[in-house]
Structures are given as C-alpha cells and as structure tokens.
Amino acid sequence: MLTVLMLSLVALSGLNVTLADVVYSQDNVTVVFHYSLDPFQKINAFLFGCDDVGNVVLSLLSNSTDFKIVKVDSTHAVLEFNIINEGDYYYFQGVNLTTPLPIRININNSIMFQINDSTRIPEMYVFK
C-alpha cells in the first residue's frame, strides 16, 4: 500500500516535453505534444491512467479553451483546436505556451518547417 501511495505522489513536473507537432488544415489545427516519462511516471500512468499526464500537458497552454483532447498516453498527447471559417479562408488564432518548445509546423501537407524554443503556436490563415 505504501508503495502505491509513493508512486501516486511522484510529481510529473519532470515531464520532458520534447516537441509539438502542429498540423494546420481546413478542418482544425491538430497539436501533438511528444514527451517522455521516467520509469516511475510510466508505472504511475500504467496503474492510475494518464489523467495526471494530461493535466501537465494542459498546463502548457496559457490562454486557450477552444480545443478537445483526442488522446493522452505515455508518449504523446493529441489536441484538436477549432478554427474559424472566414469565407475565403480559415483562421486559427494561435495559442500561447507557458514553456518554450520546439514546434514543427505542417500546413496542409505542403509547407513544413520548425521553430525552435517558441512560446506560441502561431496564428494562421489557411486559404480554401
């Protein structure tokens, strides 16, 4: 019992987020946060689920509530953000991050680039 209690108290503040993949499309903006867990965190996630991991990932977002959580597991979390239909184009307002991260951008599978140590997922206009 004591071991289970100790495992559940292991802080996830050491969650090592390595990259955010951002895919802009006409349907939504998908963000995949890639991270690694230490062995104790993996055991905790296996025994008690990934809710704590999801909460740590959500703490990376400082100003957005317009998204849904698609998946959280022991290696990555997938979030989908809504976009605004502006007639001739779609608009994504961007998201501020609380921690600088490398961000790999993919726009309609035609333009790809990486921004190192960014504190913002950039706003974007995607034309129809």
Q: How many CA atoms lie within 13 A of 42 on its CB side?
A: 7
The contacts of residue 16 (CB under 8 Å, 6+ apart) are 35, 36, 37
- Express each pLDDT in 51-100 by its tens digit: 788 888 889 998 777 899 999 998 999 999 999 999 999 999 999 999 99
pTM of the model: 0.84
Q: Which of 23, 52, 40, 26 is CA-nearest to residue 112? A: 23
Domain ranges of the chain: 2-127
- Express each pLDDT in 66-75 by its tens digit: 899 999 998 9
